[in-house]
């Protein structure tokens, strides 16, 4: 089937129904499905259907015109020269060519200035987590980034062998405009690493360097790096976020881009989809950016859900500690209903140890719906809808 929407205007309000078979996941692939979208989104839905391996049976216009596979003559008159639909056996490539990468490398880092450093934890919390912001002004080139990327920090000093410390990567917690909306700052959410070794407490080199740093100090910064955790461009996408601890950093950036008033005014990207954050922490005082998220919830109840798993305070259905995977199981039906929508993306960020629990929960939840998670997960990954960054 050859259909092009190349000359369609984004304001074109005509509606088109696309009838599809063998689309979706699990048992749903056996059913015929119908998608009704604005004319301007026709090519996008074709690409989505192709990624999922679906077959288009018919395209029906609101004015009664229709097209069956192989029939290009009934395409809307306003369409330009027909172009082939994507090959169903190969998902359309996702281009991130414009995303900045490695503007500054370890051998020639950018030197930024700390503008603020404060604790994110409430009284009674476990550990130490700080929000740290750096001024990036004055670089040539300007160090800029997009939501979902990371930067490298090279801590001062040398290691036990007298060599300079190696960089550590941290997920960015601010939007491309920065917390001050001036587009020349970057913020991190850093937990001080501490562990016991032979009866002694060992502090992480870079995390301690950052948590102890004073405003005005100079810091060597590299990057940005990463294209795995980028948000979709579609303003009507659905975004499920699974975070533990400081894995909340990219989620905070996403949610600010979606719901912070100054961001919505400035970025020209007006989120209208559904965003659902699952946040796992040990205690209530360890909830990070909680007041901001509760505010978004009060202001955008139709677009945002916020589900907390507080392991040392809440119980799961087996009377054990409540972890993020338990919340996933609780809401399995809703989660998989969202995943069945090709506009839904899932993001996971936090300690690598969270992955097996989430995978087990998704396997169990999928099985209850007749879906093989081991088959679905790589399909979602291939379609650029399953995003994981753990450490």
Active-site positions? 170-171, 349, 389, 391
Q: For the chain, give the secondary structure using H, E and C.
A: CECCCCCCCCCCCCEEEEEEECCCCHHHHHCCEEEEEEHHHHHHHHHHHHHCCCEEEEEEECCCCEECCCCCCCCCCCCCCCCECCCCCCCCCCCCCCCCCCCEECCECEEEEEEEEEECCCCCCCCCEEEEEEECCCCCCCCCCCCCCEEEEECCCECCCCCECCCEEEEECCCCCCCCCCCCEEEEEEECCEEEECCEEEECHHHHHHHHCCCCCEEEEEEEECCCCCCCCCCCCEEEEEEEHHHHHHHHHHHHHHHCHHHHHHHCCCCCCCEEEEEEECCHHHCCCHHHHHHHHHHCCCCEEEEEEECCCCECCCCCECCHHHHHHHCHHHHHHHHCCCCEEEEEEECCCHHHHHHHHHHHHHHHCCCCHHHHHHHHHHCCCEEEEEC
Phi, psi of 211 (to 5 degrees): -65, -25
What's the rounded Cα separation, in Å, for the pair 226 and 96? 10
CA 354/CA 47 separation, integer angstroms:
32
- Given a contact cutoff of 8 angstroms between Cβ atoms, the answer to whether 76 and 14 are in contact is yes
Q: Measuring CA to CA, how many Å separate 127 from each of 193, 194, 205? A: 9, 8, 16
Contact of 256 with 304, CB cutoff 8 Å: no
């Amino acid at each position: 089937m050859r259909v092009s929407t190349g000359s369609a205007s984004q304001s074109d309000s005509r509606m088109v129904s696309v009838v599809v078979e063998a689309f979706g996941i699990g048992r749903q692939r056996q059913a015929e499905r119908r998608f009704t979208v604005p004319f301007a989104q026709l090519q996008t839905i074709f690409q989505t259907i192709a990624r999922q391996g679906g077959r288009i049976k018919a395209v029906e216009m609101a004015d009664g015109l229709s097209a069956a596979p192989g029939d290009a003559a009934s395409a809307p008159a306003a369409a330009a020269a027909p172009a082939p639909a994507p090959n169903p056996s190969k998902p359309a490539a996702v281009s991130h060519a414009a995303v900045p990468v490695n503007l500054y490398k370890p051998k020639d880092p950018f030197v930024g200035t700390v503008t603020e450093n404060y604790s994110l934890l409430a009284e009674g919390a476990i550990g130490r987590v700080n929000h740290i912001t750096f001024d990036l002004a004055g670089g040539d080139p300007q160090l800029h980034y997009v939501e979902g990327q990371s930067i490298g920090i090279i801590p001062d000093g040398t290691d036990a062998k007298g060599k300079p410390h190696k960089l550590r990567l941290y997920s960015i917690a601010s939007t491309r405009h920065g917390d001050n909306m001036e587009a020349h700052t970057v913020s991190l959410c850093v937990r001080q690493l501490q562990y016991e070794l032979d009866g002694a407490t060992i502090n992480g080199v870079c995390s301690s360097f950052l948590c102890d740093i004073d405003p005005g100090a100079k810091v060597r910064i590299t990057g940005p790096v990463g294209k795995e955790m980028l948000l979709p461009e579609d303003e009507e996408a659905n975004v499920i976020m699974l975070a533990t601890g400081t894995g909340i950093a990219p989620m905070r950036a996403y949610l600010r881009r979606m719901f912070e008033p100054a961001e919505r005014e400035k970025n020209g990207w007006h989120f209208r989809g559904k965003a659902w954050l699952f946040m796992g922490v040990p205690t209530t005082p360890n909830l990070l950016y909680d007041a901001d998220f509760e505010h978004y919830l009060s202001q955008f109840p139709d677009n945002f859900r916020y589900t907390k798993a507080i392991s040392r305070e809440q119980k799961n259905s087996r009377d054990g500690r409540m972890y993020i995977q338990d919340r996933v199981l609780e809401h399995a039906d809703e989660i998989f209903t969202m995943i069945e929508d090709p506009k839904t993306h899932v993001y996971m960020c936090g300690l690598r140890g969270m992955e097996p629990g989430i995978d087990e929960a998704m396997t169990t939840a999928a099985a209850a719906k007749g879906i093989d998670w081991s088959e679905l997960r790589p399909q979602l990954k291939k379609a650029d809808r399953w995003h994981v960054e753990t450490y």
